[in-house]
């Protein structure tokens, strides 16, 4: 879905209407005024994700990628296929000295984000930094504060914030369509070793950085970071505490990060947000399930379901018959007890169609608009900040095997967690 049809679909034609539940969409409010303007971008770390982002930038007439920086030649070669005219740097600090560059996209491994982003802000650049923002909560906080001090635009790579399915789902959640939110279940299941082929052994850690503690916090920073954010977006709040466990249960191949993690985040009203990831069984795929007392929404699937959809009478009878004959054959349970069979209602599509995009392209378009206008869209840096902090907090809970409270020192002015300083 392109920007025009997206805005139309969301009732935002002309940029006049801003959705209360997704205020960062205000980034599109000046698209007409900026149509002759250009954002000059530098890409730092154009590997797999960086080139994917560039493939979308290529479709935006307001973008010029003027510079690239990578320390690995195959990545530069790949990126140059997309933007052959770009100036190539081997040291990102040199790219930051390039006065043509208005903004940088940082798509390097997690352990390098902090320093590059801090230097970029200091160099007067706007910053798009891939998630997670940094390796520690303190570093995330410093990055956020630096953004505030410099007034430069700051986005994290949280594309669900721009995914039409999620935007509409959150609008419905916040209108109370599904009643009170009672629980949020998120999971990401895969069945593969999460490894990339390595052309020669000394490149193992460079290529498979995700698998080693020096560069990554594994499934928490790579996957949970996206899904936990759905919880804060839906709840309009951040959890107070988290507990969790991690282990290597299947891929015992020398990796250091867990292949099996589970965390429970608890909000002040007792509602819980679960995150679970296992990468040796893919049957359930990935989803964020928001469960209200009146209904459920699954934005990844793009569907919602109401609790009380009356089945056709014949069908109801069939269920009763099956259940009753089942109980007849069970010596220990009478018909007063019934198993809670899963709801079979097929639900409705959130936006009336099967999903066609995951928001990445719109997120980049929004960043480009913000770079051109120099205006930070409301709440987007805060969403990115809390997503990173919360996945790191979950990691801390796993490591300590303790219930970890959200530290007051890292709360920012957002949602229910307003600070006075
Ligand atoms: N938002 C999403 O859905 C999403 C999806 C995938 C990856 N990501 C994020 O994107 C980032 C990159 O992931 P990836 O899969 O592309 O990794 P990758 O290994 O494919 O790419 C990283 C690139 O950075 C380069 N690099 C490393 N250190 C550098 C340095 N000091 N200076 C310049 N270049 C350097 C590497 O050579 C490589 O080309 C990670 O933070 C990851 O979490 C986000």
**Would you say residue 415 has pLDDT above 80?**
no
For ligand 1, whether the C-beta of 44 sits within 6 Å is yes
For residues 166-195, average pLDDT: 96
For residues 40-57, average pLDDT: 98
For ligand 1, whether the C-beta of 54 sits within 6 Å is no
Span 368-398, pLDDT tens digits: 999 999 999 999 999 999 999 999 999 999 9
For ligand 1, whether the C-beta of 70 sits within 6 Å is yes
Span 250-288, pLDDT tens digits: 999 999 999 999 999 999 999 999 999 999 999 999 999
How would you class 411 by CB atoms within 10 Å of its CB: exposed for 0-12, middle for 13-18, buried for 19 or more?
A: middle
For residues 44-62, average pLDDT: 98
Compute the mean pLDDT over every residue in the chain, rounded to the nearest whole number. 90
For ligand 1, whether the C-beta of 163 sits within 6 Å is no
Going from the Cα of 306 to the center of ligand 1, the distance in angstroms, rounded, reads 40
Q: Domains of the chain, with CATH numbers?
A: 3-159 (3.40.50.720), 162-310+342-357+386-410 (3.30.360.10)
Which residue, by CA, sits nearest to atom 1 of ligand 1? 157
Going from the Cα of 185 to the center of ligand 1, the distance in angstroms, rounded, reads 28
Task: Tell me which of 413 and 77 has the higher pLDDT.
Answer: 77
For ligand 1, whether the C-beta of 120 sits within 6 Å is no
CB 225 within 8 A of CB 131: yes
Going from the Cα of 49 to the center of ligand 1, the distance in angstroms, rounded, reads 6
Which mutation among 51, 52, 70 tests ligand 1's pocket best, with the greatest number of atoms within 8 A of CB? 70
For ligand 1, whether the C-beta of 72 sits within 6 Å is yes
The predicted pLDDT at position 352 comes to 75
b (16+ CB within 10 A) / e for 75-86: bbebbeebbeeb
Which residue, by CA, sits nearest to atom 40 of ligand 1? 109
The predicted pLDDT at position 381 comes to 97
Span 293-345, pLDDT tens digits: 999 999 999 999 999 876 555 555 555 555 545 444 444 455 556 667 777 78
For ligand 1, whether the C-beta of 275 sits within 6 Å is no
Taking the C-alpha atoms of residue 274 and residue 253, their distance in angstroms, rounded to an integer, is 28
Going from the Cα of 79 to the center of ligand 1, the distance in angstroms, rounded, reads 13
For ligand 1, whether the C-beta of 222 sits within 6 Å is yes
What is the pTM assigned to this prediction? 0.92
Span 220-242, pLDDT tens digits: 999 999 999 999 999 999 999 99
CB 367 within 8 A of CB 376: no
Which mutation among 44, 46, 48, 52 tests ligand 1's pocket best, with the greatest number of atoms within 8 A of CB? 48
């Amino acid at each position: 879905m392109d920007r025009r049809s997206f805005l139309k679909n969301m009732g935002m034609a002309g940029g006049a209407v801003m959705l209360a539940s997704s205020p960062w969409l205000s980034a599109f409010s000046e698209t007409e005024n900026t149509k002759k303007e250009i954002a000059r971008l530098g890409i730092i770390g154009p590997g797999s994700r960086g080139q994917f982002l560039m493939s979308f930038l290529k479709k935006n007439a307001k973008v010029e990628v003027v510079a690239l920086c990578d320390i690995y030649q195959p990545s530069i070669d790949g990126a140059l296929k997309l933007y052959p005219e770009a100036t190539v740097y081997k040291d990102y600090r040199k790219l930051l000295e390039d006065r043509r560059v208005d903004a940088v996209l940082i798509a390097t491994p997690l352990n390098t984000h902090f320093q590059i982003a801090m230097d970029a802000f200091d160099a007067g650049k706007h910053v798009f930094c891939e998630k997670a923002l940094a390796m520690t909560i303190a570093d995330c906080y410093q990055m956020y504060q630096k953004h505030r001090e410099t007034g430069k635009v700051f986005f994290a790579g949280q594309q669900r914030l721009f995914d039409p399915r999620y935007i509409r789902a959150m609008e419905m959640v916040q209108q109370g369509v599904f009643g009170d939110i009672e629980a949020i279940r998120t999971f990401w299941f895969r069945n593969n070793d999460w490894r990339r082929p390595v052309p020669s052994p000394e490149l193992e850690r460079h290529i498979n950085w995700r698998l080693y503690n020096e560069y990554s916090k594994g499934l928490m920073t790579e996957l949970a970071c996206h899904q936990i954010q759905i919880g804060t977006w839906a709840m309009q709040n951040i959890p107070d505490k988290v507990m969790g466990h991690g282990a290597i249960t299947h891929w015992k191949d020398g990796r250091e990060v867990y292949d099996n993690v589970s965390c429970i985040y608890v909000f002040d009203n007792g509602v819980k947000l679960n995150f679970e990831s296992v990468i040796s069984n893919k049957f359930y795929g990935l989803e964020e399930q928001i469960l209200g007392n009146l209904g459920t929404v699954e934005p990844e699937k793009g569907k919602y379901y109401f609790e009380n959809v009356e089945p056709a009478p014949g069908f109801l009878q069939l269920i009763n018959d099956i259940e009753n004959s089942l109980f007849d054959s069970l010596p220990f349970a009478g018909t007063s007890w019934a198993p809670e069979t899963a709801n079979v209602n097929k639900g409705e599509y959130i936006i009336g169609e099967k999903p066609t995009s995951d928001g990445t392209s719109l997120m980049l378009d929004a960043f480009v608009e913000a770079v051109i206008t120099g205006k930070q869209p409301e709440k987007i840096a805060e969403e990115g900040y809390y997503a990173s902090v919360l996945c790191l907090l979950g990691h801390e809970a796993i490591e300590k095997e303790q219930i970890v409270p959200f530290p007051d020192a890292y709360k920012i002015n957002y949602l229910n967690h307003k600070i006075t300083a």
